[in-house]
């Protein structure tokens, strides 16, 4: 992550000159946009609120520390001017507004007082009486004694300070994990706060509509002193024994980590994403996306005193993105692959996998990095909606939003899909220009014939992107490019994968006269030839759509028609293989109660079980799942197959084959090692099974008791 602040100090010496230079810099860097905010910064004497600081430090574009705790951590500071300006602009404060500031110091309150004067009001609140005493004194000394200063825990906002109808704006200037102030904000009001989402800090501007907060501007990476009192955030940090590796779950359920210690005894596997980033390019949006897309997401850091060199390289500056999968872990890293255009380096995102199934966890994370690259990287910002938990707000649609449930609110993050682009170029003979993609590079559709085009870059329109891509790939500008169709690719199950905006244009240059900068070969192709070529399915679908289109019919609106292409399904019948442990002691069977948020059979009793992964045998799967879920250790040689359940779930087209194994012996007592999936283990008499219980579990246990080895279930 990067900060926009700079520590350059002007060379002039008087406070007025320093303040003028600072404001000129904020204007030049586009942190100040409006005359009102500019006027406030030019008028309020910042140095009067930090009397211990040198004038040059007071007017540097950086934070000024005011107060620290016994451990040397800052508990109060004056924020960097660039960030104060950004948040004030985002708050859209006007004369006459009623404004609350949470986190005091005096200077920012004085800026707000200038914005709301002469008819508005400003209340500034802080939990620390030393801070509020100082703010009261500084405000009085500078002529802002009409500002109301309150000493209180912001988690329990005093009711008597909230005006009728709520505040027009609330600015939070401390690092906050939650936003319990929605009810104190007027409808249509603005709330600007540095919100923590899985440990990532973002200054976000919201507008209140229909009882919820809606973001509508780009997120700004920032840092503030931590919230104190009942609203203080808990990092939920766990340390993997003997490694110095620390994992934090600020949002989500903390997972056990002791079982991860052996994972770091060997070199990791590496999954390449082929997604690159510049040395000075922030990638905070990617890490925020991964936090919502990947269950078990956490932040990974290394204790400097406990680092034994097992992570190479360890995360730099900020904790890294990671996921835990039982006894395995994957983490996001980068590898330098070049100098980059600016000389600051070009890096590839790679994922390191640790443990027996680290390669699978690494692939899972790498797939999400590539999905972000194809569909979301070019978006200026995600859209965030925050509802109070005590409302009957509609749940986000499946797959549409990432959700973080906090103490007072539910945060939903929706990532706009930004299409890639492609050019359908035709000549006067009705042929199509296609290019052959390299078969020996880790790229999309290697070795296939496809349309020219590529991804949209941040802030570009699709029209700008396709013009740039054609210039980069063939060095030509096509003057008559117009939108033709939107191509949506779905996987074999019908789940959305990516979207491409296809533009149609005309070109009559022979292929051998076009200089190709990317790919292997260009070719003018007729529609009847494509069945004989190794063709990208999406390209083939677009060519057929164009061939059969009525090009003379005029559309009544500007919406492009959609062409859907589904990746082929292998029609040979394949079953999902699941291994289930039948552990019986003194006539009672071990069952676990699934987590209330589980996608399958929530709050329902079930056997220890899991699916076969990669190329492992079913008995290996059973041993692995047993240890990952319960901590019990069972040698493969001590497992016997006691039942086979041939299951077809209602409405499903994928059969499931359940293999039920019973051990002759085991080591240990069952413990909950995956609390995000199972809340408890308990022994239940076979003749008094609990309710609710997974129905096929009941069927299998009854069959085992009756000596029936095979049962088909759900087949007509």
Q: What are the start-end ranges of the H helices in 118-196?
A: 129-141
Residue of 76, 79, 104, 215 with catalytic role: 79
Angle of CA points 330, 626, 666, to nearest 5°: 140
- Pairing of β 167-172 and β 185-197: parallel
Question: Could you say which DSSP state residue 264 is in?
Answer: G
In three-state form (DSSP H/G/I as H, E/B as E, the rest C), the secondary structure along 384-441 is EEEEECCCCCCCCCCCCEEEEECCCEEEEEECCCCCEEEEEEECCCCCEEEEECCCCC
Q: Under a CB-based contact definition with an 8 Å cutoff, are residues 583 and 663 in contact?
A: yes
Specify which residues 402 forms β-bridges with: 413
Q: Under a CB-based contact definition with an 8 Å cutoff, are residues 581 and 663 in contact?
A: yes
For tokens 């492992």, what's the residue? Answer: 616
Neighbours of 598 (CB within 10 A): 16
Rounded Cα distance, 713 and 716, in Å: 9
Q: Under a CB-based contact definition with an 8 Å cutoff, are residues 185 and 166 in contact?
A: yes
Question: Could you say which DSSP state residue 504 is in?
Answer: E
Rounded Cα distance, 542 and 539, in Å: 5
Give φ, ψ of 592 to 5 degrees. Answer: -115, 145
Neighbours of 559 (CB within 10 A): 9
Neighbours of 556 (CB within 10 A): 6
Question: Tokens in use for 412?
Answer: 């939903």
For tokens 């209330």, what's the residue? Answer: 596
Closest CA to 222 of 205, 204, 236, 234: 204
Neighbours of 156 (CB within 10 A): 11
Rounded Cα distance, 260 and 238, in Å: 11
Is 79 assigned a catalytic role? yes
The set of catalytic residues is: 79
């Amino acid at each position: 992550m990067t900060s926009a602040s700079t520590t350059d100090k002007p060379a002039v010496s008087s406070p007025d000159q320093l303040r003028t230079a600072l404001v000129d810099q904020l204007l030049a860097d586009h942190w100040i946009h409006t005359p009102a905010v500019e006027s406030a910064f030019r008028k309020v004497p910042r140095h009067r609120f930090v009397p211990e600081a040198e004038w040059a430090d007071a007017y540097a574009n950086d934070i000024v520390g005011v107060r620290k705790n016994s451990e040397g951590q800052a508990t109060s500071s004056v924020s960097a001017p660039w960030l104060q300006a950004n948040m004030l602009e985002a708050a859209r404060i006007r004369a006459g507004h009623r404004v609350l500031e949470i986190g005091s110091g005096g200077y920012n309150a004085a800026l707000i007082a200038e914005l709301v004067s002469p008819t508005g009001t400003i209340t500034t609140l802080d939990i620390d009486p030393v801070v509020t005493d100082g703010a009261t004194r500084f405000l009085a000394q500078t002529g802002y004694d009409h500002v109301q200063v309150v000493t209180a825990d912001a988690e329990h906002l005093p009711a008597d300070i909230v005006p009728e109808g709520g505040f027009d704006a609330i600015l939070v200037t401390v690092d906050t994990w939650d936003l319990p102030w929605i009810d104190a904000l007027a409808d249509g009001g603005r709330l600007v706060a540095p919100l923590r989402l899985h440990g990532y800090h973002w200054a976000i501007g919201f507008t209140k509509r229909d009882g919820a907060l809606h973001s509508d501007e780009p997120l700004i990476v920032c840092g503030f002193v931590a919230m104190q009192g009942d609203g203080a955030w808990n990092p939920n940090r766990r340390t993997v024994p003997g490694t110095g590796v620390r994992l934090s779950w600020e949002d989500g359920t903390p997972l056990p980590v002791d079982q991860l210690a052996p994972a770091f005894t060997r070199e990791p596997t590496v999954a390449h994403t082929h997604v690159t980033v510049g040395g000075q390019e922030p990638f905070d949006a990617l890490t925020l996306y991964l936090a919502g897309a990947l269950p078990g997401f956490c932040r990974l850091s290394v204790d400097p005193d406990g680092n034994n060199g097992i992570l190479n390289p360890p995360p730099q500056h900020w904790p890294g993105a990671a996921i835990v999968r039982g006894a395995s872990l994957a983490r996001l890293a980068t590898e330098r692959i070049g100098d980059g255009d600016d000389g600051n380096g070009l890096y590839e995102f790679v994922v390191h996998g640790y443990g027996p199934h680290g390669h699978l966890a690494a692939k899972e994370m790498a797939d999400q990095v590539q999905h972000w690259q194809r569909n979301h990287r070019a978006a200026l910002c995600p859209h965030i909606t925050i509802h109070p938990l005590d409302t009957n707000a509609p749940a986000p649609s499946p797959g549409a939003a990432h959700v973080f449930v906090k103490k007072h609110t539910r945060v939903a993050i929706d990532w706009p899909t930004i299409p890639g682009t492609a050019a359908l170029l035709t000549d006067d003979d009705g042929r199509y220009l296609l290019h052959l993609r390299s078969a020996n590079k880790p790229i999309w559709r290697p070795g296939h014939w496809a349309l020219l085009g590529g991804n949209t870059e941040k802030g570009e329109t699709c029209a700008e992107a396709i013009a740039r891509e054609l210039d980069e790939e063939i060095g030509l500008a096509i003057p008559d490019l117009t939108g033709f169709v939107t191509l949506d690719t779905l996987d074999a199950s019908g789940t959305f994968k990516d979207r491409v905006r296809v533009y149609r244009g005309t070109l009559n240059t022979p292929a051998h006269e076009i200089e190709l900068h990317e790919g292997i070969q260009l070719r003018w192709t007729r529609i009847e030839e494509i069945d004989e070529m190794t063709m990208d399915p999406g390209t083939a679908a677009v060519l057929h759509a164009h061939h059969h289109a009525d090009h003379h019919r005029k559309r009544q609106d500007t919406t492009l028609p959609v062409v859907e292409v589904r990746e082929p399904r292998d029609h040979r019948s394949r079953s999902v293989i699941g291994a289930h442990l039948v552990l019986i002691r003194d006539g009672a069977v071990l069952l676990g109660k699934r987590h209330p948020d589980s996608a399958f059979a929530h709050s329902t009793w079930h056997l220890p079980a899991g699916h076969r992964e990669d190329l492992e045998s079913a008995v290996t799967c059973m041993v692995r799942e047993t240890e990952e879920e319960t901590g019990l250790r069972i040698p493969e040689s001590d497992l016997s197959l006691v039942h086979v359940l041939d299951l077809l779930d209602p409405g499903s087209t994928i059969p499931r084959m359940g293999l039920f194994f019973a051990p002759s012996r085991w080591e240990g007592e069952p413990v909950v090692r995956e609390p995000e999936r199972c809340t408890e283990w308990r022994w239940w008499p076979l003749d008094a099974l609990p309710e609710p219980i997974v129905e096929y579990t009941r069927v299998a246990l009854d069959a085992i008791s009756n000596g029936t080895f095979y049962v088909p279930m759900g087949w007509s």
